[in-house]
Amino acid sequence: MRITGLSTHVVGTPWRNLTYVQVHTDEGLSGVGEAWMLNHTDALIGYQALKFDPFGSGTMELDHTETMRSVSLVEAVRDAIGEETELLIEMHGRFSPATAIRLAGLLTPFKPSWIEEPCPPENLKALAKVSAHTDLPIATGERIHDRIEFRELFELQAADVIQPDISHIGGITETRKLAATAETHYAMIAPHNVGGHFTLPDAPGLGIELDVEARAEFPRQRANFDLFADNWQLRDPERTGPGGPA
């Protein structure tokens, strides 16, 4: 499988400009992913690393057809970006240890810099089993919400890269404390931020103020999408949420 076309699309919103990359292959398969342009959407600058989830709607296990399709997508992306660009594989914490180990073996020839959340985060011993059976670095941590909870992860040596979510774990101060602990266990840190980027302020603190009147213009919406349904990446609850078509 080879990539035959790449196109970029920018969608403006009051929050930020959303940048999407559409990929087409010579076998008729296509995919779309969101990119982070950090206010450079006019330039669409090049990336040093790309991360994506190629696994469709698989959960716990992945059948042979979907497995081969997923591996082919990774192969096509590696072929397109070359050896100099890092490739990061997202698994969204949805596979059993056996499935994750099998997939890691199939992906190893494409030299991913890490596989992210290969297993659900609640069972760290399952993650340790995956780590013990692959040479690929393991990244996890965005759904571990307390600095103390990382202790078991470090003791098991189940991850090579930790990804605490700054907005969930208690802010920058807690993240710095965790980073110091990670250093003593020779673990790297790649902070996760579900809320996107923000511009550093000139004034003391983070410079964040709540505009209640502006917030009123954006009422709460139904945002419950099913991660394991087809087209989950569209984040459209009408198509992928409970009661919606898969």
Question: Mind telling me the catalytic residues?
Answer: 92, 192
In the structure encoding, which two tokens stand for residue 209, read together? 């103020």
Total number of residues shown for the chain = 246
In the structure encoding, which two tokens stand for residue 47, read together? 């990336």
Helix 64-81 to helix 97-107 angle (10° resolution) is 40
Produce one character per residue of 139-152: b if its CB has 16 or more CB atoms within 10 Å, e if not. Answer: bbbbbbeeeeebee
Helix 124-132 to helix 97-107 angle (10° resolution) is 30
Give backbone dihedrals phi and psi of 213, rounded to 5 degrees, phi first: -65, -40
Cβ neighbours around 114 below 10 Å, total = 22
Residue type at 83 in one-letter notation = E
Rounded Cα gap, residues 61 and 102, in angstroms: 10
The single-letter DSSP state of residue 148 is G
Rounded Cα gap, residues 74 and 88, in angstroms: 10
